[in-house]
Amino acid sequence: ECVERGKTVQSNWEKKFEAYKTAYPDLAEHWTHAMNGTLPPQLNLDLPEFRPADGPIATRAASGKVLNAMAKNIPLLIGGSADLAPSNKTVIDSSFDFQKGSYNGRNIRFGVREHAMGGILNGISLHGGIKPYGGTFLVFADYMRSSIRLAALMRLPVIYVFTHDSIAVGEDGPTHQPVEHVASLRAIPGLTVIRPADALETAEAWRLAVKNNDGPVALILSRQKLPILDRTKYASADRLGKGAYVLADSDRKPEIILIATGSEVSITLEAGKKLKENGSQVRVVSMPSWELFEKNPQEYKDEVLLPDVTARIAVEAGLSMGWERYVANAGATVCISRFGASAPGQTLLEKFGFTSDNIVQKAKALLNH
Is 320 among the domain residues?
yes
For residues 18 and 122, membership in a common domain is answered with: no
Least confident of 36-50, 201-215, 349-363: 36-50
- The whole-angstrom separation of Cα 293 and Cα 298 is 10
For residues 17 and 130, membership in a common domain is answered with: no
How big is the CA angle at 318 (ends 312 and 321), to the nearest 5 degrees? 60
For residues 148 and 194, membership in a common domain is answered with: yes
Whether the CB-CB separation of 74 and 45 falls below 8 Å is answered with yes
Please report the pLDDT score of residue 13 as a whole number. 95
CATH number at residue 268: 3.40.50.920
Please report the pLDDT score of residue 272 as a whole number. 98
DSSP letter, residue 317: S
Position 43 confidence tier, pLDDT thresholds 50, 70, 90: confident
With 80 as the cut, is the pLDDT of residue 369 above it?
A: no
For residues 170 and 271, membership in a common domain is answered with: no
- The whole-angstrom separation of Cα 194 and Cα 59 is 12
Q: What is the pTM of this model?
A: 0.95
Tally the residues of the chain.
Answer: 369
Stated as kind and residue range, the H or E segment containing 38 is none
For residues 65 and 214, membership in a common domain is answered with: yes
Burial class (CB in 10 A: 0-12, 13-18, 19+), 173: middle
Mean pLDDT of 328-357: 96
Position 42 confidence tier, pLDDT thresholds 50, 70, 90: confident
Q: What is the pLDDT of residues 293-324, one digit of tens each?
A: 999 999 999 999 999 999 999 999 999 999 99
Stated as kind and residue range, the H or E segment containing 284 is strand 282-286
For residues 56 and 140, membership in a common domain is answered with: yes
Please report the pLDDT score of residue 239 as a whole number. 97
- The whole-angstrom separation of Cα 123 and Cα 217 is 16
Provide the residue range defining the domain that includes 25: 2-36
Residues annotated as catalytic (active site), given as ranges: 114
Instruction: Count CB-CB contacts under 10 A for residue 365.
Output: 12
- The whole-angstrom separation of Cα 66 and Cα 115 is 26
Q: What is the pLDDT of residues 65-91, one digit of tens each?
A: 999 999 999 999 999 999 999 999 999
Please report the pLDDT score of residue 134 as a whole number. 99
For residues 132 and 257, membership in a common domain is answered with: no
Whether the CB-CB separation of 362 and 332 falls below 8 Å is answered with yes
Please report the pLDDT score of residue 41 as a whole number. 80
Domains in the chain: how many in total?
Answer: 3
With 80 as the cut, is the pLDDT of residue 124 above it?
A: yes
Is 188 among the domain residues?
yes
Range 8-33 burial, b when 16+ CB lie within 10 A, else e: eeeeeeeeeeeeeeeeeeeebebbeb
Q: What is the pLDDT of residues 1-31, one digit of tens each?
A: 899 999 999 999 999 999 999 999 999 998 9
- The whole-angstrom separation of Cα 221 and Cα 48 is 17
Closest CA to 296 of 219, 353, 241, 363: 241
Coil/strand/helix, residue 134? strand
- The whole-angstrom separation of Cα 124 and Cα 327 is 40
Q: Give the rounded percent of residues in the chain with a pLDDT score beyond 70.
A: 100
Position 44 confidence tier, pLDDT thresholds 50, 70, 90: confident
For residues 247 and 327, membership in a common domain is answered with: yes
Rounded to the nearest 5°, which phi and psi values hold at 137? -70, 145
Least confident of 45-49, 79-83, 343-347: 45-49
Amino acid 331 reads G
In the predicted model, what is the mean pLDDT of the chain?
Answer: 96
Is 200 among the domain residues?
yes
For residues 260 and 211, membership in a common domain is answered with: no
Position 365 confidence tier, pLDDT thresholds 50, 70, 90: very high
> Is the Cα torsion angle 355, 360, 365, 369 positive or negative in sign?
positive
Coil/strand/helix, residue 257? strand
Amino acid 171 reads E
For residues 202 and 141, membership in a common domain is answered with: yes
Distant-in-sequence, close-in-space partners of 110: CB < 8 Å, separation ≥ 6:
80, 81, 82, 83, 116, 117, 120, 134
Q: What is the pLDDT of residues 147-182, one digit of tens each?
A: 999 999 999 999 999 999 999 999 999 999 999 999
Position 63 confidence tier, pLDDT thresholds 50, 70, 90: very high
Please report the pLDDT score of residue 102 as a whole number. 93
Mean pLDDT of 247-260: 97
Please report the pLDDT score of residue 267 as a whole number. 98
For residues 290 and 321, membership in a common domain is answered with: yes
Stated as kind and residue range, the H or E segment containing 327 is helix 324-327
* Helix/strand/coil (H/E/C) assignment for every residue in 229-254: CCCCCCCCHHHHHHCCEEEECCCCCC
Is 43 among the domain residues?
no
For residues 176 and 282, membership in a common domain is answered with: no
Mean pLDDT of 113-117: 97
Distant-in-sequence, close-in-space partners of 56: CB < 8 Å, separation ≥ 6:
225, 226, 227, 228
Closest CA to 156 of 174, 184, 130, 185: 130
DSSP letter, residue 189: T
- The whole-angstrom separation of Cα 11 and Cα 217 is 36
Position 285 confidence tier, pLDDT thresholds 50, 70, 90: very high
Q: What is the pLDDT of residues 206-239, one digit of tens each?
A: 999 999 999 999 999 999 999 999 999 999 999 9
Is 111 among the domain residues?
yes
